[in-house]
Amino acid sequence: MTGEGVRVVIADDHRLVRTGFRMILGAAGIEVVAEAATGVEAVAAVRRTVPDVVLMDIRMPELDGLAATRELLGDGTAPYCVLVLTMFDLDEYVYAALRAGASGFLLKDVAPEQLVAAVRTIRAGDALLAPKITRRLVERYALRDEAEVPSPGLLERLTAREREVLRLVANGCNNAEIADRLFLSAATVKTHVARVLAKLGLRDRVQAVVFAYEAGLVSAGRDH
């Protein structure tokens, strides 16, 4: 499998990080169409080049990666995906970035083959984040400000079966595991997940896990 046709923007305030990532991706046939050292540069570069994937550092000058992610993904129609870069696997800013629409996160010391796999995964439309990791983030950083928590009424848009599927997604189950538990085919589960995302206006499974916790469908330490 090659990276042909995949276009990436790298946003990080450390030149060595950008250079290293560019070399790794280039060796795999993945094109880096622009680099940015600040959030402002990142937003401009992404809008100018319209890449498939944005590798976004969180802590950058002028405009941090979180604000840049919100600006780029705010209206929910962006044709690109954002993959957050962090030095910490439980950084509260990573959680905020996931809420803003990022499709996952990577540690900066990721192995070269994992970086390449991550970009390809995101390009294919999948979220790069195991639901169980998302769960750890949500349990630690979930906001309880009423202004930030989604209305429980949104759950009424879902059928009982769809709520059941969403609960299992939030508990870290993949489609095959959900199919086994609910005695459904994998294709049927995939359809249910797609309908859940569409009805709730969510981008991917990462946002579904966040939503399930913040809407009160599941709670930390329960529903395992």
CATH code (residue 54):
3.40.50.2300
Q: Judge if 17 and 116 occupy the same domain.
A: yes
Burial label, 78 (beta-carbon count in 10 A; 0-12, 13-18, 19+)? middle
Whether 188 and 116 share a structural domain:
no
- Calculate the average pLDDT of the chain: 84
Do 100 and 173 fall into the same domain? no
The pLDDT value recorded for residue 223 is 45
Whether 16 has a pLDDT exceeding 50, the answer reads yes
Same-domain check for residues 95 and 171: no
Rounded Cα distance between 220 and 134, Å, is 12
Both 98 and 173 in one domain: the answer is: no
Q: Do 118 and 19 share a structural domain?
A: yes
Same domain as 204, residue 100: no
Is pTM, for the whole model, over 0.75?
A: no
Domain edge (last residue) among 101, 129, 157:
129
Residues 119 and 20 occupy one common structural domain = yes
* Separation of alpha carbons 176 and 178, rounded Å: 5
Amino acid at 106: L
Q: What is the pLDDT of residues 28-86, one digit of tens each?
A: 999 999 999 999 999 999 999 999 999 999 889 889 998 999 999 887 778 889 998 88
138 located within any domain: no
Residue 112's domain comprises 7-129
Number of domains present in the structure of the chain: 2
pLDDT higher than 80, residue 147: no
Q: Decide if 188 is inside a domain.
A: yes
pLDDT of residue 36: 97
Q: Are residues 60 and 169 in the same domain?
A: no
Average pLDDT on 195-214 reads: 85
Q: What's the rounded Cα separation, in Å, for the pair 119 and 103?
A: 11
Same domain for 37 and 64: yes
- Do residues 66 and 111 share a domain? yes
Q: What share of the chain in percent tops pLDDT 70?
A: 82
Q: Which of 71, 103, 129 is a domain's end point?
A: 129
Residue 76 or residue 16, greater confidence: 16
Considering the domain architecture, whether residues 13 and 60 belong to the same structural domain is answered as yes
What was the pLDDT predicted at 224?
45
Residue 130 pLDDT: 58
